[in-house]
Amino acid sequence: MASEFVKPESIKTMRKDGGGLIFLMTSKQIADKLKLPFLADMYTNIEDKYPVLKELAPNDIPYDSKSSFSLYINHRNTFTGITDIDRSLTMTKFADLSKKIQNANDGTATKMFGKEFRSPGHIPICVAAEKLLDERKGHTELVVSLLQMTGLTPAGSGCEIMGDNGKALSKEKAKQYAKDNNLIFLDGKEIIKAWKKWSK
């Protein structure tokens, strides 16, 4: 969902009905404004000092060539950062900041970011590929592309739904969940098709 509309109840639903990692997704443009690093790049830069990071290099991800994880953040007005109230605050404030920095220069944007947020925190940020679905077709790109097409701030919040069998919920059960909860189910292929038409 669009991070600007996240409420504590949204986090509760993700936590109880989803069960996967609750995280933020943002565009490469916003990430560049904020100078957000990829965690994998940070680890590479300090692996001489901390050799264990070289051993843990994510060079065998079965579904991708590179991890999209960046920093983990909490808003400075949170307490522990993990409660539904705290996590929703971090997400909505990140969306607010993303709007504010549209015309800010890089130095100003990073100072604004540091004034409002601290790291490490309880909300991981995943950065979308620069060309979105023209470059990568992951959940992060699907969400950011959808937000761009609808004219919303390209900061999304999500959580994968886990099944009782220990795996991700099947597509059929996800469709049923959407129906039972009066939600719209969108297949990734539908978003990609709409993106190709919209981005021409």
The alpha-helical segments, DSSP class H, found in the chain are: 8-13, 28-34, 39-45, 52-55, 84-100, 106-116, 139-149, 171-180, 188-198
Q: What is the pLDDT of residue 105?
A: 77
pLDDT band at 142 (very low <50, low <70, confident <90, very high): very high
Close Cβ partners of 97 (under 8 Å, ≥ 6 residues apart): 112, 113, 116, 117
b/e code 82-98 from CB counts within 10 Å (16+ = b): eebebbbbbbbbbbbbb
Q: What is the pLDDT of residue 1?
A: 95
pLDDT band at 156 (very low <50, low <70, confident <90, very high): very high
Alpha-carbon gap, residue 168 to 165, rounded angstroms: 8
pLDDT band at 83 (very low <50, low <70, confident <90, very high): very high
Distances (CA, A) of 9 to 2, 21, 53, 176: 14, 16, 37, 21
Residue position matching structure tokens 């949204």: 10
Q: Are 28 and 128 in contact (CB under 8 A)?
A: yes
The whole-model pTM stands at 0.94
Distances (CA, A) of 127 to 29, 60, 72, 100, 139: 9, 19, 12, 18, 11
**Phi and psi angles of residue 50, each rounded to the nearest 5 degrees, phi first:** -125, 80
Tell me the CB-side half-sphere exposure of residue 29, using CA atoms within 13 A.
Answer: 15
Average pLDDT over the chain reads 94
Superfamily for domain range 3-198: DHBP synthase (3.90.870.10)
Domain boundaries, the chain: 3-198
